[in-house]
Amino acid sequence: MDFIFRRIYVGQVKAVIFDLAGTTVDYGSCAPAGVFVELFRNHGIEISNSQARVPMGMHKRDHIQALLQMEDVSKKWKEKYGKAWSDGDLDMLYERFVPLQIGCLERYSTLIPGTVEMAEELRSQGIRIGVTTGYNTDMMQIVLDAVKKQGFVPDSAICVSNVPKGRPAPWMIYQTMQELGVFPPESIVSVGDTIPDIESALNAGVWSLGVAKTGNMMGLNEKEVASLPEDELEKRLASAYETMYRKGAHLVIDGVEDCVESIDEISFMLAEGERP
């Protein structure tokens, strides 16, 4: 007998997995970007803030490697040290990055407006909440301790130290699903402000909800965003939305305060038999 069996999930969203910096904390994702610039400057290499943000969302060691692989940065390194960078240089830079990042995290762990209210609304619908991050265990714990004092406590927290490989690999999402005891992937939404966030969601087979305004795509803190002329803000936001949709995000929002409406929309699409 010739037949095709296709099982289609038509229930509601069961869990939402959020990134940390730029999505739920640290408006503008300023902590990691600034540290990468400082790290390279400490070694005689000037990189721009925009360069520092290109690999954002990855494991921080992978992020440093991606920066070193940039043609401009690679050239500057060779001119400074008389030879191409090596794996030993990468290990050294990551080792020196860690205390720099840890030293500033507490200052950059303020919740993005709307996070607590959003989490309460999702939980009232029976939806579990996880967080994932490119930070290591010590870094993540500093942020978790800070946001707990502000009223945000996720049901699960996974970082790159808990999995074989960070974003864009799907392992942090799968580990979160296992911890929360939720499946199938169609019932999961991943929310993040970087392209690797989108890529990891697509690789995991879950819904990708991009965050355009409060994180890495804009790269500005809350005061800087508020001071932008309206036409400039609209232009930058339109560019961020276009980029995230082009990279595969299923939906894009300004920030987590708009999250609940989008989750409801995804639950409606699931009920109609749609899949990510």
Residues forming the active site: 19, 60
The DSSP code sequence of 191-214 is EESSHHHHHHHHHHTSEEEEE-SS
Q: How far apart are CA 99 and CA 80, in angstroms?
A: 24
- Strands 15-19, 188-192: pairing is parallel
CA distance to 91, 131, 210, 236, 240, per residue, from 244 (Å): 31, 20, 6, 12, 6
Please report, as a single letter, which amino acid is at residue 40. F
Task: Identify the helix (H) or strand (E) that includes residue 40.
Answer: helix 30-42
> Residue 9: which residues within 8 A CB-CB, separation 6 or more?
184, 186, 187, 270, 275
Tokens of 204: 């995991």
> Residue 222: which residues within 8 A CB-CB, separation 6 or more?
27, 28, 113, 214
Q: How far apart are CA 121 and CA 245, in angstroms?
A: 26
In the block, tokens 């929309």 appear at 265
CA distance to 130, 136, 194, 238, per residue, from 210 (Å): 16, 23, 8, 13
CA 275, 14, 218, 202 torsion-angle sign: negative
